[in-house]
Amino acid sequence: MADTQQQVAIVGCGIIGRTHAKTIADRPDATVAVLVDPDAGAREALAAQLKELGQPEPQLYDDLAAAQRSPRTRVLELATVPASDEIAKDLGLPPGASVIRLRRLRLSDAEPLALLTNHLPTEIVELTAERLESHGLYETLRAAGVNLRIANQTIGARGATTAEAALLDERRGVPLLTMTRTAFDDKGRAIEYGSHVYRASRYSFEHTLVHR
């Protein structure tokens, strides 16, 4: 990576976004240039916090499009492969069954944000790289009549591998956020198993917990 001043956009100005902002403000080689959140109060509160920390005033936006950051996806792989034992179990398939493996790089403008890997049963939907680069996977599934209803999701962190670091413009071993998810449709079928990694310096996850 080039040894230059980094300008960072924080998407989501809640608790985790504020934590990232504090971490970036403590770094001499980085500034928070953009805050993106649909909640104007959250944007303005975090901007004030950054000012108190000696950071220049960031630009505030409702969403990525308004921030003139163009989210896009590059398909790295779309192939039919034998399922590993773990993936077969999560998808409710026999070990070694054929599945679709999809690997994508998620970018904002030219900056890489996340490496997404999905496995799907072969009979669920017909996928093409062209469509997946202009439409999301879940949008494509919905267009094919798949009604996603529930997902089991686990969030964690680990160091970047050499291959991941090269794709994400990071150093080998730098912490990455991880997410694994198995999604089910309204008939109870396992539709996709996702295993994704995200740049911790560019991403945060925010959840609302509701007591029932």
Q: Quickly list DSSP for 179-198.
A: EEEEEEETTS-EEEEEEEEE
CA 206 to chain centre: 12
Give exposure, 107-143, as e/b (b: 16+ Cβ within 10 Å). Answer: bbeeebbbbbbbbbbeebbebeeeebeeeebeebbee
Q: Does the pTM of the predicted model rise above 0.75? A: no
What is the model's pLDDT at position 212? 61
Q: For residue 150, what is the domain's CATH number?
A: 3.40.1410.10
Co-location of 168 and 123 in the same domain: yes
What is the model's pLDDT at position 81? 97
Co-location of 49 and 75 in the same domain: no
In tens, the pLDDT along 6-16 reads 788 888 888 88
Co-location of 84 and 181 in the same domain: yes
Residue 55: both structure tokens together: 């950071």
Residue 102 covered by a domain: yes
> To the nearest 10°, the Cα dihedral for 115, 150, 205, 113?
20
CB 32 within 8 A of CB 55: yes
**13, exposed or middle or buried, with CB in 10 Å at 0-12, 13-18, 19+?**
buried
DSSP state of 55: P
DSSP codes joined into one string, 102-147: EEEEEEETTEEEEEEEEEEETTS----HHHHHHS-HHHHHHHTT--
Domain that holds residue 29: 6-61
Residue 141 covered by a domain: yes
Residue 29: both structure tokens together: 């080689």
Residue 206 covered by a domain: no
Q: For residue 18, what is the domain's CATH number?
A: 3.40.50.720
What is the model's pLDDT at position 160? 96
Positions in the chain short of pLDDT 50: 1-2
